[in-house]
Amino acid sequence: MQPSPAIRFFLQMQVHDIPGFKNAVAKAVAISRDEPGTIHYDWFLNEETGDARLVEAYDSVSAVIAHSQGAVFTEVGPEMMATCTFLSMDAFGDTGRLGEAAQFWPSTYWGPAFAALTD
């Protein structure tokens, strides 16, 4: 069995403006789901606690880079950052040199990706 080539991310946030967050997420989803190389881009929210998660996957490092340089980061990102605090991010798969330092906004270094052991 060969490991999956997909690159996956699991992000956790604490939301302090639920209506604003939901609005920003809707904009991000409208953009990201049509980006080339996006396998999935799914948001989850517990409105009672403000806990939110983003689970996303891409078919290549170049698709991750394109996403990070696109409208989700440049247009929707500032709006989203005003509604929540990003707590953690785990990356899974071969992210190449992206795992060596902070690459993305919010530019916090959360460590290298976990390597895939199974499909």
Would you say residue 65 has pLDDT above 90? no
The span from the CA of 66 to the CA of 58, in Å, is 10
Containing 15, the helix (H) or strand (E) segment is strand 7-15
Structural domains of the chain sorted by starting position, each given as residue range(s) with its CATH number in brackets? 7-96 (3.30.70.100)
**What is the reported pLDDT for 96?**
73
- Given a contact cutoff of 8 angstroms between Cβ atoms, the answer to whether 9 and 114 are in contact is no
Report residue 82's pLDDT band, with 50, 70 and 90 as the boundaries: very high
**What amino acid is encoded at 104 in this protein?**
F
Q: pTM for this structure? A: 0.82
Would you say residue 116 has pLDDT above 70? no
- In this predicted model, what pLDDT tens digit does every residue of 90-102 receive, in sequence order? 888 877 776 665 5
Report which DSSP code applies to 119. Answer: -
